[in-house]
Amino acid sequence: MDKKVRVRFAPSPTGGLHLGGVRTALFNYLFAKKNNGTFVLRVEDTDQNRFVAGAEAYIVDCLNWCGITPDESPGKPGSYGPYRQSERKPSYRKFAEQLISDGYAYYAFDTPEELDAKRKEFPNFQYGQTTRMQMRNSLTLTISEVEELLAANTPHVIRIKVPEQEVVHFNDLIRGDVSFDTSLVDDKVLLKADGMPTYHLAVVVDDKAMEISHAFRGEEWLPSAPVHILLWKYLGWESDMPVWAHLPLILKPDGHGKLSKRDGDRLGFPVYAMNWTDPKTGDVTKGFKEMGFMPEAFINMLALLGWNDGTDQELFSLTELEQKFSVARISKAGAKFDFEKAKWYNHEWIKQSPVSSLHAAVKTELQNAGIEVNDDAFLNAVIELIKDRCTLLPDFVAQSRYFFASPAEYDVATVKPKWTAEKAEFFNAFANNLSLTDAASAESAFKALAEEKGFKPGELMLPFRIMLVGGKFGPGVFDIAILLGAEETKNRIAKAIEVFNS
């Protein structure tokens, strides 16, 4: 690659971090790692009306949880700061004024009421080539009128003057050659009345200042691309313009439209990386982390929403993704979100993860459920035995609760119809002679005694399981008995016989 790779993830601190935003961050991160580049977090906080306290720290926490930590950020500054747009405010007006003096932008003094009146007069009103000369701006006012208004600190914005009948071309790494007819593009506001830039001006000025080489962003920003390309040209920076890549949308499960938070609320799955608490209302929107997803599975799932490596491989560690990622393999088409598939990824990651990497998370889940864990070695043995049965981390609670406390209730309805005094005698005899050296020998002894007493082992297995765990679930029943130990197993058999006999 000709120039040093520098990419940026530039979210606005306005609320929860949507999985589409995390995927944008992930693709930036992977591209940087693949090309020995730098991954930058830049906080686009210029819209003060939508700014939410705590949202920036939340974004950083989300990226840290996912394992895609930026090389440069507000908390880890490099040589290209500041990394919050609100701290770069003076630079934006300078460039906006430069665009005016060069004839590429103009002051617009229209009040909100005047703009509203125009929108009522023209339902699809756009401030641009066909309407700008009917408005109150520095193109229709005299120089002295403009100077007077500015001297009086009259509220105004600065708008780009989009040229007429031009075609703006650019090459997109994902979409190839893209072109726009400027007659369909309106005169976007570049600098707002409060002196803050809009995204259009800020993204260009900041990408230039931070020497961003490649700009990965969502497909929804494609209609804004001609304005940004014109700004790169008008500011004289065309040769430094980043290479563009507009990522495909993440679609609703039915494929119709972009996935939104409302879809998650309606269909019962998260769309945010982590829990987000609205500071105004206190409402909590659930995230993938708190629902019980492992970060490895979440990242794996996101990477394959719109990208594949050209093989049938579906499970990738972050290190593998760093090695195999290629922009050429990003799809142009939107990717349908499938929550069942997301859970499949998590199940596979739980199954293949070593116990050591699951221990802390599982212990936390158990403690949150009021289950005290005093023996870490015992917990590790339990995790090893049941992890294949768990899809989400909270599943470890239901799948392991009986290891830490004798069942409080039994599925008596399953046992009672076929329960006999002879079966009670069998289990008493089995308990009296119980030896638990390993699961295989315990099972052999169980079957031998069943045969001796005239039972088929199959008709005794289910009552034995219910004695130990309370219901029809869990791993191999003799594996459970080995972990519980002979004394506990005997106690549970005795307690259950009393219940079944009553």
Residues found in the chain: 502
> DSSP letter at 294?
-
Helix (H) or strand (E) holding 442: helix 439-452
Q: How far apart are CA 409 and CA 492, in angstroms?
A: 12
> Could you confirm whether 261 is annotated as catalytic?
yes
> DSSP letter at 285?
E
Alpha helices in 210-287 (DSSP H): 225-234, 261-267
Nearest to 245 by CA among 268, 215, 211, 209: 215
Q: Answer for the pair 30, 5: CB distance below 8 angstroms, yes or no.
A: no
Residue 163: both structure tokens together: 């040229």
Q: How far apart are CA 190 and CA 198, in angstroms?
A: 5
Q: How far apart are CA 30 and CA 17, in angstroms?
A: 19
Residue 46: both structure tokens together: 């210029």
CA dihedral 442, 443, 446, 447 (to 10 degrees): -150
Q: How far is CA 302 from the centre of its chain?
A: 7
Please name the amino acid found at residue 262: R
Please name the amino acid found at residue 107: Y
Cα Dmax for the chain: 111
**Catalytic one of 89, 118, 258, 261:** 261
Q: Could you give the residue numbers annotated as active site?
A: 261
